């Protein structure tokens, strides 16, 4: 490989908004077999909004008060929704986040448990009466959360995020380039599958806890594949670091950008097939 042609390649890439940290990553990009996408903030815009709420106003007021203590994008969506309804939020008395599952909070003297089925079931609350409702939201690609107040199931709230306009086209181009395309998310299987269907991804790893994301990348590598990981969040950083090519979303967190080998400006997903095309062109020039 001549250093000059690599430099020309990374220079061209940079002009398009593809920032390689070094020429070796451009060379490696040429060898990719598989690419794994985080869902929220990577394939989607990462600005979820509440679409449905089933429950009474008191429950919504308690729920939003509880979520005020969380920095999760889902929490922000719920707080915004309640504030738009002019609800006054109470101060949280105790707060615990259970990563990948939800929150347990004391507010106004009541204990709220908000999150997925597993969190409620682990706390002895049966979820079957809401199963049909949950499932209908999830089949639409929405993230549904259950709300229990003092041990009683009181409501369901659903949140949806917008898929990036170019996500489908980017996935199609990557497949045409011969890559295996995979989605990786902490969200539940049904929601993840619905989003995957919309963007044309056939392989989904769902309900993956933040600390397990890197292990999933490793699993694909152990199949003998050279793997790229695309992500935006703090919880994607270990997966970005362990992958052969870590691709950070430019609009994502600083931690993700630092852990990655490449950053795509503005989070424009079409820059990924473009980077692969550039790496092929560069390697051809070298040979």
Point out which residues bind ligand ADP (CB under 6 A): 39-40, 67, 70, 72, 74-75, 100-103, 114-116, 143, 145, 185-187, 210
Token representation of residue 158: 């659903």
Give the shortest CB-44-to-ligand ADP separation in angstroms: 9
Q: Which does 145 bind (CB under 5 to 8 A by kind): Mg ion, ligand ADP, none?
A: ligand ADP
- Token match 């709300």: residue? 147
CB neighbourhood size of 153 (10 A):
18
Residue number, 28 or 117, with CB nearest to ligand ADP:
117
- Binding segment toward Mg ion, per CB under 5 A, in 38-46, 98-106, 209-217, 258-266: 38-46
Q: Write the DSSP assignment of 155-201 as a string of letters.
A: EEEEEE-PBPTTHHHHHHHHHHTT-EEEEE-SS-HHHHHHHHHHHT-
Residue number, 187 or 261, with CB nearest to ligand ADP:
187
Bridge partners (DSSP) of residue 247 are: 230, 262
CA–CA distances in Å: residue 282 to residues 31, 122, 175, 269: 12, 53, 20, 21
| 58: annotated active-site residue | no
Residue 272 and residue 284 in contact, taking contact as beta carbons nearer than 8 Å: no
Q: Which does 116 bind (CB under 5 to 8 A by kind): ligand ADP, Mg ion, none?
A: ligand ADP
Q: Which does 155 bind (CB under 5 to 8 A by kind): Mg ion, ligand ADP, none?
A: none
Catalytic residues: 38
Residues forming the site for Mg ion (CB under 5 A): 38, 40-41, 232-233
């Amino acid at each position: 490989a001549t250093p000059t042609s690599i430099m020309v390649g990374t220079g061209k890439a940079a002009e398009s908004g593809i920032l390689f940290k070094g020429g070796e990553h451009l060379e490696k990009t040429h060898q990719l077999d598989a690419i794994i996408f985080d869902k929220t903030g990577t394939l989607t815009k990462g600005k979820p909004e509440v679409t449905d709420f089933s429950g009474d106003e008191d429950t919504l007021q308690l729920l939003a008060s509880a979520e005020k203590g969380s920095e999760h994008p889902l929490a922000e969506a719920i707080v915004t929704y309640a504030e738009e309804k002019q609800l006054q939020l109470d101060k949280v008395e105790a707060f615990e986040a259970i990563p990948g599952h939800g929150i347990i909070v004391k507010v106004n003297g009541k204990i709220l448990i908000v999150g997925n089925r597993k969190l409620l079931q682990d706390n002895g609350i049966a979820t079957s009466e809401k199963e049909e409702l949950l499932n209908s939201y999830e089949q639409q690609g929405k993230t549904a959360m259950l709300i229990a107040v003092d041990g009683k199931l009181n409501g369901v709230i659903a949140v949806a995020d917008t898929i990036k306009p170019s996500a489908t086209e980017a996935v199609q181009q990557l497949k045409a380039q011969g890559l295996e395309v995979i989605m990786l998310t902490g969200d539940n299987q049904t929601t993840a599958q619905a989003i995957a269907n919309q963007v044309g991804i056939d392989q989904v790893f769902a309900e993956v806890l933040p600390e397990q994301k890197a292990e999933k990348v490793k699993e694909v590598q152990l199949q003998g594949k050279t793997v790229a990981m695309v992500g935006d969040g703090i919880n994607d950083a270990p997966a970005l670091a362990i992958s052969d090519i870590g691709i950070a979303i430019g609009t994502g967190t600083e931690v993700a950008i630092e852990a990655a080998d490449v950053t795509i400006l503005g989070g424009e997903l079409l820059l990924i097939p473009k980077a692969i095309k550039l790496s092929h062109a560069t390697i051809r020039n070298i040979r």
